[in-house]
Amino acid sequence: MKTRVIDCIDKTNILDKLNDAGKILREGGLVVFPTETVYGLGANALDSEASKAIFAAKGRPVDNPLIVHIYSIEQLSEITNGINTIARKAMEAFWPGPLTLIMEKSQNVPDAVTAGLNTVGVRMPKNDVAIALLKAAGVPIAAPSANTSGKPSPTKAEHVIFDMDGKVDVILDGGPCDVGLESTILDTTSTPPTILRPGGVTLEMLRGVFRDVALDKGLLKKPDGDFKPKAPGMKYTHYSPDADVTVVEGRTEDVVEHIKERLLECSNKGIKAGVLATDETKGFYGENFIISVGSRENPITIAENLFDSLREFDKQSIQVVFAEAVANNGIGLAIMNRMNKAAGFKIEKV
């Protein structure tokens, strides 16, 4: 398949470009589009065959359901079985934005999209190109992150091109994504509402709206035999670069000292090692390959750059990466969830 990359940063003739892409979606094709979280790999959510093509392009396990994207609340009547009080409150507070709501699905949504569940994840993105595409398509769009299954999610068009060239019809280049981590997933069918995946809408923000918010067990620990996460996707290896990642957790000074020792060990063994550091610590590691992922003072910068940084280590053929853990509150909960998963939960506490 020949993939067309369309520049949507330059807004000249943007509506014509998106009308084309909308038509491709209606005809069953695959269109990658930017959102404020990460790039999505979209197909018509009401078309079972088109949705199945998403799984093929990504190499995604078929038991992992897709999120359906909409541009207006009216579209919900087509895909859900009504809006309960929890869902209503959440959308009023956070849509459009990085929040996916798990709701009871209507029979119009094919099993391929929901992996046979009786619920559907729905989200209204906050990104001009995504909204314009949704309007041009006129149908709800099912879209997982546009990466090869298991790899870090794409936050720039170049990441998508690397993973999806030749596998999709169109890639819309909207520049780098703002949030950089996937949406928060909130199950609105449980009381209290439950966070199944932390993201840009934080636990603290949700607690500002709901008296009680639960966290799905094991968001920060490795899924084990008995434990079954409610978002099927959370059980899979995720966000993993080719490099072998280890998270180092503890007081910042101790973390730096520990990583320096581990770097020395690697260099003695002839292993090419790197550090996922922060603005505050990047100066401490000497001649090694260091990426500052952002500032501890301003963790949204870390969220924005995390996946790009993980991909960068692979580009430089780094074999082993030591990643500094950061504070676990606010957006930090989502950052650490992704970082721990990228490391396959290999965590050294110091």
- Give me the residues that bind Mg ion (CB under 5 A), please: 145
Instruction: Pick out residues in 195-234 that bind ligand TXA (CB under 6 A).
Output: 196, 230-234
CA distances from 118 to 23, 81, 215, 235 (A): 29, 10, 21, 19
CA neighbours within 13 Å on the CB side: how many for 284?
A: 19
Q: At closest approach, how far in Å is the CB of 137 from ligand TXA?
A: 15
Query: In this chain, which stretch among 8-16, 179-187, 240-248, 282-290 interacts with ligand TXA, using CB under 6 A?
Result: 179-187
Q: Which of 22, 29, 40, 294 contacts ligand TXA by CB under 6 A?
A: 40
Q: Contact, 339 vs 255, CB < 8 A? A: no
Question: In the complex, what is the shortest distance from the CB of residue 11 to Mg ion, in angstroms, rounded to a whole number?
Answer: 28
Identified binder of ligand TXA from the candidate list 101, 143, 168, 275, rule CB under 6 A: 143
Q: Of 21-29, 113-121, 210-218, 294-302, which part binds ligand TXA (CB under 6 A)?
A: 113-121
Pick from ligand TXA, Mg ion, none: which does 308 bind, CB < 5 to 8 A by kind? none
Structural tokens at position 315: 């580009």
CB 37, min distance to ligand TXA, A: 3
Listed residue (306, 297, 315, 289) closest to 342, CA to CA: 306
What is the rounded distance in angstroms from the CA atom of residue 115 to the CA atom of residue 245? Answer: 31
Q: What SS3 class is residue 6?
A: strand
* Smallest separation, CB 229 to Mg ion (Å): 14
Tell the smallest beta-carbon distance from residue 144 to Mg ion (Å): 5
Nearer residue to ligand TXA within complex by CB, 144 or 294: 144
Instruction: Give the integer Cα–Cα distance in Å for 50 and 13.
Output: 27
Distance CA 272, CA 49 (A): 44
Residue at 279: amino acid letter: D
**DSSP H or E run through 197:** strand 194-197
Number of H helices, E strands in the chain: 11, 16
Q: Which is nearer to ligand TXA, 17 or 197 (CB)?
A: 197
Q: Which entry of ligand TXA, Mg ion, none binds 130, CB below 5 to 8 A by partner kind?
A: none
**Closer to ligand TXA by Cβ: residue 41 or 326:** 41
Q: Residue 348 has what DSSP assignment?
A: E
Residues in contact with ligand TXA by CB under 6 A are 35, 37-38, 40, 64-67, 100, 102, 114, 117, 119-121, 123, 143-145, 182-183, 185, 196, 230-234
